[in-house]
Chains A and B, each alone.
Chain A
């Protein structure tokens, strides 16, 4: 059975800035103008794409502890030609203004986490498309943030003056960035939920959707029967206190998430009921979240495979 991958995830459902928060530092602290946001997007796109494509060939027999080191080293190597190219494309003053936020992109979570939990589990062609869409999702969010913050802070876009009734200079600061991205993330989620509700999916909450997606993903990966995903979903719902607790794990998006779901398969819990009715969702019971679970079984090796 093929794994179901929704190629639109990187744009909306798992948008790296506004939904999962996988990469926020450069957006919050650096993208205060259009030019700076374009420079960030340029470096991020090239470094991430090259690194993810090349690192796919790293054998998964190497323990994850070492493999993640190789990913960052590869990203740092690719950063050298990319920054030289950036210097040729962008003005030096923009690169200087971006400061440390360009080199720190080598440790972004798309490379360090999403590779393990998503990209390297996909076929090569699909993975390439998926990575590009995730990158486009980030680029759009980052550029939009840069444009709006520049407009609000100084009444310009790309240096060109725009007639605005007033300006908010605080948008240039880090705390302005936190507030902008925080409010933006809330609005983004509200719009996403609203559209989903009006697309006839109102009966399926975010928790159900996420858990079901993960269930299907793992069912495909382990060649389990279709009905298994219902059991995985139900077990996941039992382990999460509320929707956000589970969705917030997405920004972590490291191997623990996958491990926790794999653990649910391994445990072989008996489940009852049907999907779409998370038993404890929002009930306020003592949480035991998948990603935060400290009881990840020893049977799962460094590659997240069940022994």
Chain B
């Protein structure tokens, strides 16, 4: 029961207190693209959630075995990329074999949703966070859900942010960054501030 609660706790931390977008700005360019269309939003979020969850479970094994090694921090990026690559190619091969139509629609942008700062960053944060395998899985799961939440919040505002009422220079990318910044300010509260500190 305790380990399950740890998993839920890790997921909630990843969704709110350490949201990969609002707290870490990880994968912002992918977010801006994903939030343009509803199907892209869910597609990207599903791919990120799947990859971070599965890869997190695998890197837990390496972290458990090698964390004490002095040179581990140097080879960590290579190891994490290899794990992500194995998950990515393995999954694509499975989908290609079982659902060729799904594969054709996925292959256009799936690499964008797998090889990005959000996924790789989540693995590093997971490693910093530590814990048992369920905590790792929970954090990976929470990262994907957090991305979906951020993409949805941006999706709902995309029309207004691209409106002709917005000055031309700020329309699109600059306006979206300012909007995400304001949301980020709201999420900042989840990291735990007391009124006495203000």
Given A24-B29, A182-B175: A103 in contact with B111 (beta carbons within 8 A) = no
| CB within 8 Å for A104 and B120 given contacts A21-B29, A69-B88, A245-B162 | yes
For A289, the closest partner residue in chain B by CB is B36
Complex Cα–Cα for A209 and B128 (A): 46
In the assembled complex, which residues on chain B have CB atoms less than 8 Å from the CB atom of A186?
167, 169-170, 174-175, 178
- Taken together as a complex, chains A and B put the C-alpha atoms of A162 and B164 apart, in Å, by 41
**How far apart are B23's CB and chain A's nearest CB, in angstroms?**
6
- Give the interface centre of B89, B111, B173 by most chain A CB atoms within 10 Å: B173
Query: DSSP majority for the A interface?
Result: helix
Q: How many residues of A contact B (CB 8 A)?
A: 66
B175 in contact with A72 (CB, 8 Å): no
* Closest A residue by C-beta to B40: A292
User: Chain B 94-131 against A: per-residue CB contact (8 Å), 1 yes, 0 no?
Assistant: 00000000001101111110011101110011001000
User: Do A177 and B25 form a contact, CB below 8 Å, given A73-B78, A107-B117?
Assistant: yes
B108 touches A256 (CB 8 A): yes
Task: Give the size category of B's interface with A.
Answer: 35 or more
- Pick the residue among B33, B77, B170 that contacts A252 (CB under 8 A): B33
Taking the closest CB of chain B, its distance from the CB of A31, in whole angstroms, is 11
Nearest 4 pairs of A and B residues by beta carbon: A178-B181, A182-B177, A244-B172, A186-B174
- B interface with A by C-beta (< 8 Å): 22-29, 32-33, 36-37, 39-40, 74-78, 80-82, 84-85, 88-89, 92, 104-105, 107-112, 115-117, 119-121, 124-125, 128, 162, 164, 167-182, 184-185, 188
10 contacts between A and B (CB under 8 A): A25-B25, A65-B92, A72-B84, A76-B77, A106-B81, A174-B24, A174-B184, A182-B179, A186-B167, A282-B164
5 A-B pairs besides A21-B29, A107-B115 with CB distance below 8 A are A65-B110, A109-B29, A182-B174, A243-B168, A254-B112
